[in-house]
């Protein structure tokens, strides 16, 4: 599937309805395949890119200081953005993102991210909405998991 | 629409981030709403139709699951509520928020925010960045609460649904996620 059509089909990008905007964003993103067990985002390192899971499975893992082993926190779904926090706050990634099997990922370089994140052009605004939606979904996901423990 | 509040004076941090022109526009779009003590501003799981910036008073934040509820703490002046509901797209709240004392909020209707994306793109863009940074900070801070309990243990607890509402790490994470604690 063309990247543009993929973007169009994903709910986080629903505000990117304009064909020209979709074309422009598709051109800014390059697609890369990662073999099984590739570490796409490395915990403790500052992120350089924003990632979009196009195909396959990616696990979010965190190194557990208590047990000394990595622990799976979450499995990402196709269409999810990752590597967002580190790009936003310029701090090291809090977790690693690891390929499970071969995965296809869309990569937006930091320079393009910065241009889109700080502009008010329609494409930038819709991109900011997509990124902020992902953060809100992450909060909702974590909140739901935690409140499940209350009952 | 509008209110008589000096937004720059009352919320200097937000005003500084937005800049003078955007601040004036935002203030114009917001309505002051009085919330008497005891009144619920947001029901847990209910639809929320506005971003709300607390102007005065204090609000309790409570999360619940089935018949159990947990009071997380209070939010006061300058704190936003209703932003996660907007950006997740379902409009549903993640907590109950009610006034402890006579309070007031400045409301920006979600519909007006959608309208602002076309009419005032600079303001909309700055607000999205503001909310994005706010929520990113909460996520980042809640990660720190992981350190209170080993991840292996936490994963097991989540899988087996075994934790106590007295567990301090659970309360700490929820407080950070809801912005009560930074």
* Tally: H helices and E strands in chain B: 8, 8
Please tell me the pTM assigned to this model.
0.86
Query: Considering only CB atoms, which chain A residues are within 8 Å of B68?
Result: 150-151
Asked whether the beta carbons of residue A147 and residue B177 sit closer than 8 angstroms, the reply is: no
CB A73 within 8 A of CB A121: no
**What single string gives the DSSP state of each residue in B87-107?**
HHSS-B-SSEEEESSSEEEEE
Rounded to the nearest angstrom, the minimum Cα separation between B99 and chain A is 22
Question: In the Cβ-directed half-sphere of B96, how many Cα atoms lie within 13 Å?
Answer: 16
When scoring B87, B127, B134, B147 by the number of chain A Cβ atoms within 10 A, the one with the most, hence best to mutate, is: B87
CB A141 within 8 A of CB B172: no
Tell me the mean pLDDT in the region A19-31: 89
What share of chain B has pLDDT > 90, as a percent?
58
Judge whether B66 is closer than 8 Å to chain A, CB to CB. Answer: yes
| Tokens, residue A19 | 């064909």
Asked whether the beta carbons of residue A84 and residue B147 sit closer than 8 angstroms, the reply is: no
Query: Considering only CB atoms, which chain A residues are within 8 Å of B154?
Result: 71
Asked whether the beta carbons of residue B140 and residue A69 sit closer than 8 angstroms, the reply is: no
Judge whether A18 is closer than 8 Å to chain B, CB to CB. Answer: no
> Mind listing the pLDDT tens digit for each residue in B143-176?
766 555 555 556 666 666 555 555 666 777 778 7
CB B84 within 8 A of CB B94: yes
> Mind listing the pLDDT tens digit for each residue in B11-66?
999 999 999 999 999 999 999 999 999 999 999 889 999 999 999 999 999 888 77
Report the complex ipTM: 0.86
Q: Model confidence at A73, in pLDDT bands (50, 70, 90)?
A: confident
Indicate the class that CATH gives domain B7-177: mainly beta
User: How far apart, in whole angstroms, are the C-alpha atoms of residue A106 and residue A5?
Assistant: 13
Closest Cα to residue B79, out of B146, B137, B3, B160? B137
Asked whether the beta carbons of residue A131 and residue B132 sit closer than 8 angstroms, the reply is: yes
- Which H or E element spans position A29? none
Work out the angle between the directed axes of helices B121-146 and B110-119 (0-180°, nearest 10).
130
- CB contacts < 8 A (A, B): 140
User: How far apart, in whole angstroms, are the C-alpha atoms of residue B55 and residue B39?
Assistant: 16
Asked whether the beta carbons of residue B150 and residue A66 sit closer than 8 angstroms, the reply is: yes
Asked whether the beta carbons of residue A147 and residue B63 sit closer than 8 angstroms, the reply is: yes
**What single string gives the DSSP state of each residue in B130-166?**
HHHHHHHHHHHHHHHHHTTS-HHHHHHHHHHT---TT
Asked whether the beta carbons of residue A71 and residue B89 sit closer than 8 angstroms, the reply is: no
> Mind listing the pLDDT tens digit for each residue in B90-132?
888 988 999 999 999 999 999 999 999 999 999 999 999 999 9
Sheet holding B40-42, edge to edge: B40-42, B96-99, B59-65, B68-75
Judge whether B140 is closer than 8 Å to chain A, CB to CB. Answer: yes
Backbone angles phi, psi at B130, to 5 degrees: -60, -50
Backbone angles phi, psi at B3, to 5 degrees: -160, 175
Tell me the mean pLDDT in the region B54-83: 89
Structural domain boundaries of chain B? 7-177
Domains assigned to chain A: 3-147 (2.60.120.10)
CB B174 within 8 A of CB A146: yes
């Amino acid at each position: 599937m063309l990247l543009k059509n993929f973007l169009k089909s994903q709910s986080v990008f629903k505000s990117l309805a304009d064909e020209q905007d979709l074309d422009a964003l598709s051109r800014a993103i390059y697609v890369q395949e990662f073999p099984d067990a590739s570490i796409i985002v490395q915990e403790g390192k500052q992120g350089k890119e924003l990632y979009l899971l196009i195909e396959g499975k990616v696990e979010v893992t965190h190194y557990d200081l208590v047990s000394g082993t990595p622990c799976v926190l979450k499995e990402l779904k196709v269409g999810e953005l990752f590597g967002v926090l580190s790009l936003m706050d310029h701090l090291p990634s809090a977790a690693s993102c690891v390929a499970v099997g071969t995965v296809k990922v869309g990569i937006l370089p930091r320079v393009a991210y910065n241009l889109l994140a700080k502009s008010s052009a329609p494409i930038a605004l819709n991109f900011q909405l997509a990124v902020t939606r992902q953060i809100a979904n992450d909060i909702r996901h974590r909140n739901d998991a935690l409140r499940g423990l209350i009952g | 629409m509008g209110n008589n509040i000096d937004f720059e004076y009352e919320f200097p941090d937000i005003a500084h981030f937005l800049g003078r022109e955007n601040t004036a526009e935002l203030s114009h779009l917001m309505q002051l709403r009085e919330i008497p003590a005891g009144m619920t501003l947001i029901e847990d799981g209910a639809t929320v139709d506005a971003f709300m910036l607390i102007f005065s008073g204090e609000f309790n934040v409570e999360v619940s699951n089935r018949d159990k509820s947990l009071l997380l703490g209070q939010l006061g002046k300058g704190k936003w509520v209703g932003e996660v509901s907007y950006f997740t797209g379902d409009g549903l709240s993640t907590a109950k928020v009610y006034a402890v004392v006579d309070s007031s909020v400045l409301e920006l209707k979600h519909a007006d925010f959608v309208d602002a994306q076309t009419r005032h793109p600079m303001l909309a863009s700055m607000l999205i960045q503001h909310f994005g940074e706010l929520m990113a900070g909460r996520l980042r801070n809640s990660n720190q609460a992981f350190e209170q309990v080993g991840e292996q243990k936490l994963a097991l607890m989540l899988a087996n649904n075994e934790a106590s509402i007295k567990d301090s790490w659970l309360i700490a994470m929820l407080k950070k996620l809801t912005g009560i604690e930074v």
